[in-house]
Structure 1
Amino acid sequence: MILVTVGTQLPFDRLIRIVDALAAETDEPFVAQIGDGSYRPAHMEWHRFIEPVRFDRLLTDTRLIISHAGIGTVLNARKTGKPVILFPRRAELGEHRNDHQMATIGSLEGRRGVYVAQDAAEISAYLKQDLARPEGDAVLAAHQDLLDRVAGHIRLLGQRGR
């Protein structure tokens, strides 16, 4: 499943139209949070807003997030270890008051698990790849390795004490 979100403040019909067209080309399910946008997707499940508990469940279950370049989504992707494709709103297209989302992608582009797309072709290309998980996932894996080694030592000590 792929989760698509535009955040809760502004609609982002350009992103939703692009992803809806791409969803028509695959059997993989998409779930979209579209906010107050006027475009209604035809090829994916959509909701204007998703309650936080359900949204957290979707974050856990998804393999990939496609989103506006909102920092909240980036943090959620990192927390849940999911790759995220960021598609920034552009002020020149009337999608936001300024281009702070362009600045956001400028500072995040190139980080493990964060992918930046500027058009439909780039989103489509990412959907066909096995995308790396964010840096947070690598840290969690390292911690898990340490925990596994400590648990192994404890088991050995327990066996010796019998």
Structure 2
Amino acid sequence: MILVTVGTQVQFDRLVRTVDDWAGARARDDVFAQIGPSNQRYRHIRTERFIDPTEFRNFVEASSLVVAHAGMGSIITALELGKRILVMPRRASLGEHRNDHQVATAKRFAAQGRIEVAFDEDELADKLDHLDVHNGSERLGGEASPQLIRTLRAFIEGGGVRSEGTNVNVSA
């Protein structure tokens, strides 16, 4: 089964429509999508607007591939359960989000070799055609890596980050 998820805050019809068209063109009947607050109807895939967290985790467990927006919850859950994940980040220029943080997230995880990324509809359909979904992904451990702990410690002890010349203080 292929699980498509867009999170719960905003719809991502461009992603779901692309997967629906792909499933129809390939006569796939094994695609389920959690579509968020969308009123769109899809012809080739099963959909639900929302599913509870336990049910979501069960869907991820049962899937051979997760296709998602570049939301941290979706990415981390898939990696935690050792599932292949293909993400298409929302884009601010298309009115899908207020900024391009999902593009940055997708690029960062892709650079680590942990996820596959499609930046547009054509690339998503192509990757769906060619992605080997039978090979799982390495599961994330239940503990933070030493590198992550060092990075967070440096951030906290440094008092924040510099962004466009502004010091952001994160102390309580």
1:134: which partner in 2?
A: 137
Q: Match of 2:67, SS?
A: strand
1:30: which partner in 2?
A: 31
5+ residue gaps, structure 2: 143-172
1:40-68 deviations in Å (ceiling 9; x for gaps): 21110000001222211111110000000
CA distance in 2, matches of 1:110, 1:41: 33
Q: Match of 2:123, SS?
A: helix
CA distance in 2, matches of 1:124, 1:28: 16
- For 1:16, give the aligned amino acid: V
Shift of 1:113: 4.2
Count of aligned pairs between the two proteins: 139
1:69 corresponds to 2:70: yes
Q: Match of 1:85, SS?
A: strand
1:48-107 deviations in Å (ceiling 9; x for gaps): 001222211111110000000001111001111001011000001110011110110121
Shift of 1:28: 4.4
Q: Give the 5 Å matches for 1:49-68.
A: 49-68=50-69
Q: Max radius of gyration: which structure?
A: 1
Aligned residues: CA RMSD: 1.9
Q: Give the 5 Å matches for 1:8-19.
A: 8-19=8-19
CA distance in 2, matches of 1:104, 1:133: 21
1:1-53 deviations in Å (ceiling 9; x for gaps): 00000001111111111111011123341000001123221110000001222
TM-score, with structure 1 as normaliser: 0.78
CA distance in 2, matches of 1:9, 1:90: 15
CA distance in 1, matches of 2:104, 2:111: 14
Q: Match of 2:111, SS?
A: coil
5+ residue gaps, structure 1: 141-162
The answer (yes or no) to whether the contact 1:91–1:97 under 8 Å persists in 2 is yes
Please, which moves more after superposition, 14-23 or 25-34?
A: 25-34
Q: Match of 1:136, SS?
A: coil
- For 1:95, give the aligned amino acid: E
- For 2:71, give the aligned amino acid: G
Q: Give the 5 Å matches for 1:61-100.
A: 61-100=62-101
Q: Match of 1:31, SS?
A: strand
CA distance in 1, matches of 2:87, 2:95: 18
Q: Match of 1:65, SS?
A: strand
- For 1:37, give the aligned amino acid: S
CA distance in 1, matches of 2:59, 2:6: 15
Task: Answer 1 or 2: which has greater helix percent.
Answer: 1
The answer (yes or no) to whether the contact 2:109–2:115 under 8 Å persists in 1 is yes
